[in-house]
Structure 1
Amino acid sequence: MNKNIFQKIIHNEILAYKVAENSDHLAFLDIHPIKIGHTLVISKKSNRDKIFSLSEKEFISIMYFTRKIALGIEKVIPCNRVGIFVMGFEIPHVHIHLIPMDKESDGNFSKKRIVLSSKNFKFLSEKIKNSIRKI
């Protein structure tokens, strides 16, 4: 079976800058962020590609986890709000984008992505991880 990139991240076959994890979910920084702090939340147990195909229990669980991550991002990244996006066209695995936003255009997935160094990703992931621990 071919694993998608998220399944490889779940199995630690690919490096990810993780900010939170439990037995069912994983949150990590998007390697090609739209904005600094752009974080992905994925299900570790389900490899379905549509969020509404999750069971009610799985849906509520991932949303509960996502809320905690968003609150942690808001504590670290100055922004007006954290936007939540669910599209899933590029990788067939349920995933949620959390993007710090000040204006609606900050959620434009067509715009040029930000490039960060490994050092910056590590620093940012630790800051967000520490803020989530305090929630």
Structure 2
Amino acid sequence: MSDFEIATYNERAQTGPCFVCEMLAGTPGYEHRIVFDDGDHLAFLDKHPTLYGKLLVVPRSHIEDPIGGFTQDSYLALQRVVHQVATALARVVETERMYVLSLGSNQGNRHVHWHIAPLPPGVPYEEQQLYALDWSTRGRLELTDHEADQLAARLRAELDRPALTAGESA
């Protein structure tokens, strides 16, 4: 899917295999730039972002229910990764507000995934929130391979840094 079209994307999401499981299996066409992997969870750059730096965080296990599919401990472990990745992203990309949400549906993109989307400073209020994530209004942000590789490298480097303690600043 080199030329992004919403209808093609939606059809693939609804009728194709799980994109996360295919990525984990190494299936050609499902590659993503991974920035974090702890053996149980992954974080990777969104292939179709509307905002610079947008990431997805997923469990490696194919889980479809974003609440009931987890024990309390496994849910909290995933949320710790979401927090860790979002914190690193905020250090790498200038951000007014960090959006964190789980999207997907029983009809498509069923593998649980959290979107981490950094809203840049200066975006007018009318263009924030869900509008900022909407392909049909914002379009898809096009990054060159070099730009995406550079961003992924910066994020990996930030995630490799020792964690800051509460109250400490970067």
TM norm structure 1: 0.90
**Quick one: which of 52, 56, 64 aligns to 2:67?**
52
In 1, the alpha carbon distance for the partners of 2:52 and 2:63 equals 28
What is the letter of the counterpart of residue 150 of structure 2? Answer: F
What is the letter of the counterpart of residue 6 of structure 1? Answer: V
Q: In structure 2, list runs of 5 or more residues that go unmatched.
A: 1-15, 164-170
Identity of aligned residues (%): 19
Q: Deviations over 1:78-125 (max 9, x none)?
A: 011321011212401000000001456154332312011111111100
Counterpart position of 1:83: 99
Counterpart position of 1:95: 113
Higher-Rg member (1/2) = 2
What is the letter of the counterpart of residue 40 of structure 2? Answer: D
In 1, the alpha carbon distance for the partners of 2:151 and 2:64 equals 28
Match runs of 1:34-45 below 5 Å? 34-45=50-61
What is the letter of the counterpart of residue 24 of structure 2? Answer: I
TM norm structure 2: 0.72
Aligned residues: 133
Counterpart position of 1:119: 146
Q: CA RMSD in A?
A: 1.7
Bigger RCO of structures 1 and 2 (CA < 8 A, at least 6 apart): 1
